[in-house]
């Protein structure tokens, strides 16, 4: 499951001596000057994540449009304030929150059909995947059915090369639109990005949009395939409880969920974090889970599965922020 988490890098000379905790309020103010979107200082991030866990950001910015993203990136670079793009779906934010500026691209919601045959869809990074699927289905465009039930954003899906057993983002991605660290907009064809399992090698910057090459198909066919994949996920995953998608990547030719089940760990609870009893590769928040509860469960899973099988499960979640 996807998340758009990209740390824009500081200039090398800044990175060496700037500790995140040393960010000054006046640098934050410089970085967000004349931003037309919303700016909130000391913003809680909990409600921006599907897991409903997370401390505060020094500042949360929701840029109004791509022009606003460009301004923010350029100003943050000059002020040497780190930016962190949060999709919110496949991420665990530590209880101490994130220093610097957290960026939500939730206002980049343009979605339209392009191309000579009207089979290319452009979607802003903030478009939610279910919205994209609904749009594609409505236009009788096939190629995204594999993503049914994935709750992340287009930006996140690109950066993580989101996928299921049935397909992945790289299968239909034509190009990405990126604001680079100087604040310039650049388009990269998908052929220039090296994709791997749950990873796209995206150049430094912020993905603000993507073009997807789809194919024409009967609307009913697209919609019924989407519906049946969604039903499968509803049957097998705890979609009604706060979660952040698959915790671990599947080891080659194996299922992390099955390994966790075989280790007898389903249902195990620490604080309000619980290994789902429906699917072993999900951790759910029963109410007021802290990041530390989830991290302890992750360590327990890794230890027990390693002890039983010699396999060290690798995280699919990104764990970010300060402890
Ligand atoms: N299984 C168990 N016990 C469990 C869970 C699964 O034995 O507790 C077994 C199932 O019976 C099945 C196999 O493991 O034979 C695979 O399970 P499932 O079909 O649920 O798929 P998955 O490999 O666990 C992947 C993606 C999901 C995606 C599903 C469905 C990864 C890491 N996860 O899960 O993506 O929804 O396929 O296509 O590749 C995500 O990436 O966040 C995500 C939810």
Query: Which of 198 and 236 is assigned the larger pLDDT?
Result: 236
Nearest CA residue ID for atom 16, ligand 1: 255
Nearest CA residue ID for atom 10, ligand 1: 258
Max mean pLDDT range (1-5, 27-31, 216-220, 222-226): 27-31
Mean pLDDT of all residues in 155-169: 93
DSSP 68-96: HHHHHHHHHHHHT--EEE---SSEEE-TT
Cut 0.85: pTM above it: yes
- Does pLDDT of 49 surpass 50? yes
Exactly one of 104, 198, 276, 290 is catalytic; name it: 198
pLDDT at residue 85, rounded to an integer: 96
Ligand 1 centroid to Cα of residue 21, in Å, is: 38
Structure tokens at 5: 């988490």
- Does pLDDT of 210 surpass 50? yes
Mean pLDDT of all residues in 222-245: 93
Whether 316 sits among the annotated catalytic residues: the reply is: yes
196: exposed, middle or buried (Cβ count in 10 Å: 0-12, 13-18, 19+): exposed
Which of 167, 172, 278, 286 is closest to 233 using CA atoms?
278
Ligand 1 centroid to Cα of residue 36, in Å, is: 41
Is residue 279 lining ligand 1, measured as CB closer than 6 Å? yes
pLDDT confidence band for 21 (50 / 70 / 90): low
Whether 246 sits among the annotated catalytic residues: the reply is: yes
The full set of domains in the chain, from first to last, is: 12-103 (3.30.43.10), 111-234 (3.30.465.10), 238-320 (3.90.78.10)
Dihedral sign, CA of 251, 255, 260, 263? negative
Q: Which of 257, 266, 267, 283 has the most ligand 1 atoms within 8 A of CB, as the residue to mutate?
A: 257
CA 283 to chain centre: 16
């Amino acid at each position: 499951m996807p998340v758009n988490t990209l740390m824009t890098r500081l200039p090398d000379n800044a990175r060496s001596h700037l500790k995140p905790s040393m960010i000054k309020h006046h640098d934050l103010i410089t970085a967000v000057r004349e931003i037309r979107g919303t700016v909130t200082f000391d913003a809680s991030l909990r409600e921006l994540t599907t897991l409903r866990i997370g401390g505060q950001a020094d500042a949360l910015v929701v840029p109004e449009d791509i022009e606003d993203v460009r301004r923010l990136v350029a100003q943050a670079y000059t002020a040497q304030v780190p930016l962190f793009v949060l999709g919110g779906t496949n991420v665990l934010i530590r209880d101490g929150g994130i220093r610097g500026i957290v960026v939500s691209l939730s206002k980049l919601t343009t979605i339209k059909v392009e191309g000579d045959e009207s089979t290319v869809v452009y979607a802003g990074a903030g478009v939610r995947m279910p919205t994209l699927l609904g749009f594609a289905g409505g236009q009788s465009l096939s190629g995204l059915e594999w993503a049914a039930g994935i709750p992340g954003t287009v930006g996140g899906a690109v950066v993580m090369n989101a996928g299921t057993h049935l397909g992945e983002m790289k299968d239909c991605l034509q190009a990405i639109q990126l604001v680079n660290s100087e604040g310039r907009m650049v388009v990269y064809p998908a052929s220039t990005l090296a994709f791997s399992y749950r990873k796209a090698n995206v150049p430094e910057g912020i993905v603000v949009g993507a073009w997807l090459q789809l194919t024409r198909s009967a609307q009913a066919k697209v919609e019924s395939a989407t519906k049946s994949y969604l039903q499968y996920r509803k049957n097998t995953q705890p979609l009604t409880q706060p979660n952040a998608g698959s915790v671990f990547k599947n080891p080659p030719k194996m299922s992390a969920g099955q390994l966790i089940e075989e280790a007898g760990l389903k249902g195990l609870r620490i604080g309000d974090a619980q290994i789902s009893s429906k699917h072993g590769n999900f951790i759910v928040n029963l109410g007021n889970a802290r990041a530390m509860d989830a991290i302890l469960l992750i360590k327990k899973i890794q230890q027990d599965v390693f002890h039983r099988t010699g396999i060290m499960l690798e995280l699919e979640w990104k764990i970010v922020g300060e402890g």
